[in-house]
Amino acid sequence: MKEIYSTSPISGKTYSVPRDSKLDELNSFINSNKKRKIVAVQGLGFVGTAMSLVVANSDKDEYAVVGIDQSSEHSYWKIEDINNGICPISSSDPLISEYYKNAHMKGNFYATSEPKAFSYADVIIIDINLDVSKFKDKNGDIETFDVPLEGFKSAIKSIGNNCKEDVLILVETTVPPGTCKKIVYPILVESLKLRGLSIDKFKLGHSYERVMPGPNYINSIKNFYRVYSGIDDESADAVEMFLRTVISTDEYPLTRLKTTESTEMAKVLENSYRAMNISFAIEWSRFAENSGLNLYEVVDAIRLRPTHSNLMYPGIGVGGYCLTKDPLMASWASKEFFGLESGLQSSVKAVENNDKMPMFCFDFVSNILKSHDKETTSIGLLGVAYGPGIGDTRFSPVEDFYNRLSAHFDNIKCQDPFVPIWTELNLEIETCLETFLVNSFDILIVTTGHRDYLNNDFIYELIGRSSKEMIIIDTVGLLDLHKLPTHFYQNKNFYVLGVGHYEK
C-alpha cells in the first residue's frame, strides 16, 4: 500500500498517515480523564476545533474532548498537531492558542480518526462539513446545484454504529432544514436497532454556531447568543443543560425554538440574509463607480440610521464556508423536503451575484490598467484570506480574482499575515509585510481588509519607500488616502472599488 502524507499548513510538519489508529493512546486518554465527561466532536474544521477548545475550557472543567477527523492527506495533520502540542489554527484571536495550550497542558483534548471514540462519549457534537455542489455556465450564472448527502449520512452512521444508547447528539453543522428529522434521526434509529439497543434513550438536538473566525473567534462561540431545539422536549432540555455549561448563557440567553426544522431554518435564513445584504452592495458599487461617487461615504451616512446600521460596504467578494452555500442549501430543502416548487429564488440569486464579485473586481482592475498606458510586470496582493483577521481561505474571493489575474500576468506575489500556505492554490505566502513590500511592484492590490495592516500606520511608511510609479488599488476600502504619501493622489495612482479614482 502506498504511504499517505499529510502536511500541516500551520507547523509545516509532514506526517505519515498511519494504518492503525492508535487505540492504546485513545484508551489511555479516556482513562486519564475518568473524572470528566467525554465530549466527542466530529469534524476538526474551523468550527469543530474552536468548539472543542471552548468545551475543553468549560468553567467547571467537567469535560474531556475527543476530536474526530479523517486520517486523510487533507485532515490527518490536525490530529497530529493537536496531540503534539501545536495549535492547529492560526488566528488573530490570542484566546485560540491560549485555550489550546491550557487544554493540552491539562490533558483533556485529544484527537483521533478512530470512530470507536464515539463509544465513550456522553455528548457527541457534529461539526462536519456539508457542502453544496454548484454548476455554473460560462457567465457565472448558477445552472443547477445540489446537496450531496452521502458523506453526511455515513458520518451519522458511524456515530450510530458506535455511540452509547443514551448519548446526547448535538448537530451544529449547517444542514438543509428538515435534516435532523428526515435524515439524522432515522439513521440513528436504524443503527441502534441493528445493534439491539434501545431507540428511546438517545437525545438529538440542533443548535447552530455563529463562529466568526476573526479576532473574537473564541468569544463568537462562548459569549454569544444561541438558538437551539430538540426532536422532543427531553432532547431540547438535554441540549440546554449542556450549552449552559459551555456558553455564557446568563449574559447571552438561549432561545429555544419548537422544532429542529425551525433552528435549521434560522441558521440558513440568517446567512441568506447576510448574503443578500452583501449582494445588494454589488450593483450600487457599479453605480457609484459610474457616477464618480464615493459609496463608502454614502454608506457611512446611511449607517447612522439605526435600522440601516448593517448596510454593507462594497468589496472584492464574499467568501468563507457559509455565505457561499447556505442560501442554496435553504432553497434546496424548500424544494426537496417541503415541495416549494419555486425554491428561494432571491436567495439563490444573491449567491450568484456574490460569486461574481471577484469578476467585477477583476474588470475594475483591468480598466484601471488599461487607462494607465504602461506595461505591468509585477503585481502584489495584500491578503488572501476571505475576510479580515482570519487565516481561512476557503472559498476566498481572492482565489477567483487571483486566477483571473494570473491568466494575464506572470509575476503575481501574495502576502497574508495569517496564511503561510495557501492550500487551495498550493502557494507559499509571505507572512511578513515588511519583507513583502521590499519588492518593487507596478501594482499593489489590497485584497483582504486585515486590520493588522494598519497597525501603527507602518504600512504607509512601507508604501512610501516603494516606487513612486506604483499604482495602489484598494478593493476593500482599507487604506486611508490621507495617510498615503501625497504623490499617490497627485499622480492619480490610488483607486478604490466602489469609488473609482480616489481624490482628496
Residues that bind a second copy (CB under 8 A): 177-178, 210, 225, 227, 255, 257-259, 261-263, 265-266, 269-270, 272-274, 276-277, 279-280, 282-284, 286-288, 290-294, 297-302, 304-305, 307-311, 330, 334, 337-340, 342, 344-347, 349, 353
The Cα–Cα gap between 206 and 236 comes to 8
Pick from 454, 451, 381, 462: which is nearest to 422 by CA?
Answer: 381
The Cα–Cα gap between 147 and 334 comes to 12
Provide the CA 411 distance to its chain's centre, in angstroms: 29
Other beta carbons within 10 angstroms of residue 375's beta carbon come to 7
Residue 207's DSSP bridge partners are 228
CB of 209 to a second copy, least distance (A): 12
Report, in this order, helix, strand and coil percent for the chain, each rounded to 5. Answer: 40, 15, 40
**Sequence-ordered list of residues with C-beta below 8 angstroms from that of 343, at least 6 positions apart, any chain:** 331, 332, 334, 335
Element (H, E) at 33: none
Dihedrals φ, ψ of 414, to 5°? -125, 150
**Torsion angle of alpha carbons 400, 403, 405, 411, nearest 10°?**
140
The Cα–Cα gap between 479 and 199 comes to 59
Per-residue cell: 257: 425554538
Residue 229 three-state SS: strand
Place of cell 419548537: 258
Alpha helices in 317-356 (DSSP H): 326-336, 345-355
Place of cell 487551495: 424
The Cα–Cα gap between 243 and 226 comes to 9
What 8-state DSSP symbol labels residue 17? P
Q: Answer yes or no: are the C-beta atoms of 157 and 191 closer than 8 Å.
A: yes
Give the chain's radius of gyration (CA, Å): 24
**Sequence-ordered list of residues with C-beta below 8 angstroms from that of 501, at least 6 positions apart, any chain:** 492, 494, 495
Residue 124 three-state SS: strand
Element (H, E) at 275: helix 260-291
Dihedrals φ, ψ of 377, to 5°? -110, -30
